[in-house]
């Protein structure tokens, strides 16, 4: 690979390993007080939470665009706030996986393979949209609880804190959605 001259000189003067070696050895060089096997288990769990969160984000955005109902304005605004929050969350979750030394899944195929959240067929009525979003939030909560157990065992305080925040958010979002159906 040919690098621009300035970058190439910098790499040579600072004795950088080749990019290929850096990529291959990346997770071996991490010393954050968590064994690699535990970091891998946590990263795998976070990958499921990421997949669930991303597919829930897409579903929520879909429903935001396509909702019709006498409560249109309220639902449209609620779905808007929820999908924007999910968009920020997936970035934080992916960065957490990277901080543990592993690649974050980043394709729809990766997400579909890892998640149990299914696509909505067609455009459901508003009440079914709300039910599907409740189920999606509950799915993320359950995935997150599994990761929390592994993070706590490994004394991964950062991941435990992130997951606790995500659980709180999804519990509140599910409660708000359930309130619509009462």
Judged against a pLDDT cut of 70, whether residue 5 lies above it is answered with: no
Q: What is the distance between the terminal CA atoms of the chain, rounded to a whole angstrom?
A: 61
Q: What global pTM score does this model have?
A: 0.83
Q: Which tokens in the block code for residue 99?
A: 């901080």
Best CA proximity match to 137, nearest among 162, 96, 168: 168
For 105-135, what is each residue's pLDDT tens digit? 999 999 999 999 998 889 999 999 999 999 9
Q: CB 37: neighbour CB atoms within 10 A?
A: 9
Best CA proximity match to 87, nearest among 49, 118, 61: 61
Domains of the chain from N-terminus onward = 33-181 (1.20.1260.10)
Give the HSE-up count for residue 17: Cα atoms under 13 Å, Cβ half-sphere: 9
**In this predicted structure, what is the pLDDT of residue 4?**
56
For 10-32, what is each residue's pLDDT tens digit? 545 454 444 444 444 444 578 89
């Amino acid at each position: 690979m040919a690098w621009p001259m300035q970058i190439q000189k910098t790499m040579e003067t600072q004795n950088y390993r080749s990019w290929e070696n850096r990529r291959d050895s990346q997770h071996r060089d991490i010393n954050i007080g968590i064994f690699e096997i535990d970091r891998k288990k946590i990263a795998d769990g976070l990958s499921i939470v990421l997949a669930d969160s991303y597919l829930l984000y897409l579903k929520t955005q879909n429903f935001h665009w396509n909702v019709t109902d006498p409560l249109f304005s309220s639902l449209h605004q609620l779905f808007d706030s929820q999908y924007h929050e999910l968009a920020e969350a997936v970035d934080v979750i992916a960065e957490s996986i990277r901080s543990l030394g592993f690649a974050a899944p980043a394709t729809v195929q990766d997400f579909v393979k890892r998640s149990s959240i299914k696509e909505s067929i067609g455009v459901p009525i508003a009440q079914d949209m709300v039910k599907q979003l409740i189920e999606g939030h509950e799915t993320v909560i359950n995935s997150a609880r599994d990761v929390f157990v592994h993070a706590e065992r490994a004394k991964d305080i950062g991941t435990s804190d992130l997951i606790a925040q995500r659980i709180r958010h999804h519990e509140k979002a599910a409660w708000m959605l359930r309130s619509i159906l009462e």
